[in-house]
Amino acid sequence: MKTIVIIGAGMMGSAMSIPARANGHTVRLVGTPLDREIIDHARKTGRHLKMDRQLPDGLSYHQFEDVKDALKGCDFVICGVSSFGVDWFIQEALPLIDENIPVLMVTKGLWHDGQGGLVAFPDYVKKNSGLRHSVCAIGGPCTSYELADKNHSYVAFCGEDEKALSMMKAALKTDFYHISLTKDVFGLECAVALKNAYALAVSLAVGLHEKAHGPGGVLAYNPQAALFAQSVKEMKRLLALLGGGEDNLIFGAGDLYVTVFGGRTRKLGALLGQGYGIDEALKMLSGVTLESVVIAGRTHDALFQMAESGKARLEDFPLLTHIGQLLKGETKLNIPWEAFEEDRI
């Protein structure tokens, strides 16, 4: 049995306690300073305040001031913060973790390197912390709610350290949580990050249909499938351009699939598809800063910079180009359907 410490008690971090406890490990859930209420609520009720799910028996709850105690004797740490919390994690949490203890990040997304390149979070963490931890990450189609419900989920863990990867997989794999391992960190992280922009793109078709036929009716799937096919085409191209391997594209395609069917990214895409501008649409979603919007913007910026330096051709990415322009408010909705056509004869 292992001792696993989860730092960050948001929905995905907390949901990781479910497979961990299902396997009988000792699991300590430590909130960030932003998670204070979640930890208090969980202590009192055994439930997660935001996810509205029962948390597993035997889980212990800790505020961040007790993190040093919580870390004692642990085998690995799960970093449960979102991409907005990564810098905090590097500055406040990572230095407290023994450098021999590996870290598994649930954080999704890519950072920009300021020169048009994109960086996977495990590399970002290593570079910016200056510490020697083995940093691994999870990618793939897995929503926290459904992991908490023990629905079958299939993800990949990526990292450079085979031993750490194998140890984490052995600790967390259950009969509902299925895990592949890969050393292609950038390929996996990139494949699953790209889905942010493309989930917005596929959801445009939802809004387009709702606008024409009113909400709540039977949806149209030809347009969604058209955008899905074009998305996979562009994701594959972008992954190759950015230097990721192709084996993990399936996790990006799966993540695209699951993201189109729920959550705020779909809602935002549908609003854009109805013709609302980005500012208006974000206002309608109560102004929450969506991780997906930030990451989609970063992806578009990277494409644009590659195009400027002659490494990429914008015309190979008509859908991402349009999404980037929509997010910047530079254009009205005008899905470039015709640009999807290619004559390979």
* Interacting residue ranges for a second copy, rule: CB under 8 A: 140-143, 146-147, 149, 151-154, 162, 165-166, 169, 173, 175, 178-184, 205, 208-209, 219-226, 228-230, 232-233, 236, 247, 249-251, 253-255, 257-258, 261-262, 335, 337-338, 340-345
The DSSP secondary-structure symbol of 290 reads -
* Smaller CB separation from a second copy, 120 or 208: 208
CB of 239 to a second copy, least distance (A): 13
Best CA proximity match to 313, nearest among 322, 325, 304: 304
Strands 153-158 and 177-182 turn out to be: parallel
Secondary structure class of 126 (helix, strand, coil): helix
In the structure encoding, which two tokens stand for residue 329, read together?
């408010």
Q: Does residue 156 contact residue 168 with C-beta atoms inside 8 Å?
A: no
* Smaller CB separation from a second copy, 88 or 154: 154
* Smaller CB separation from a second copy, 85 or 102: 102
* Smaller CB separation from a second copy, 17 or 230: 230
Angle between helices 185-213 and 249-260 (to 10 degrees): 30
Runs of H (alpha helix) within 114-273: 121-129, 144-148, 162-172, 185-213, 222-242, 249-260, 263-273
CB of 139 to a second copy, least distance (A): 11
Cα–Cα distance list, 150 to 15, 107, 112, 142, 177 (Å)? 10, 20, 34, 11, 8
* Distance between CA atoms of residues 82 and 71, nearest Å: 20
CB of 147 to a second copy, least distance (A): 7
Best CA proximity match to 335, nearest among 246, 207, 248: 207
Residue bearing tokens 């996790």: 251
CB of 175 to a second copy, least distance (A): 8
* Smaller CB separation from a second copy, 90 or 158: 158
* Smaller CB separation from a second copy, 67 or 142: 142
* Distance between CA atoms of residues 254 and 251, nearest Å: 5
Residue bearing tokens 């083995």: 134
* Smaller CB separation from a second copy, 112 or 178: 178
CB of 17 to a second copy, least distance (A): 17
Best CA proximity match to 200, nearest among 219, 227, 233: 227
In the structure encoding, which two tokens stand for residue 181, read together?
């391992």
* Distance between CA atoms of residues 22 and 41, nearest Å: 22
* Smaller CB separation from a second copy, 57 or 342: 342
CB of 209 to a second copy, least distance (A): 8
* Distance between CA atoms of residues 93 and 100, nearest Å: 15
CB of 166 to a second copy, least distance (A): 7
CB of 205 to a second copy, least distance (A): 7
* Smaller CB separation from a second copy, 62 or 169: 169
The residue type at 161: D
The H-or-E segment that residue 180 falls in is strand 177-182
CB of 211 to a second copy, least distance (A): 13
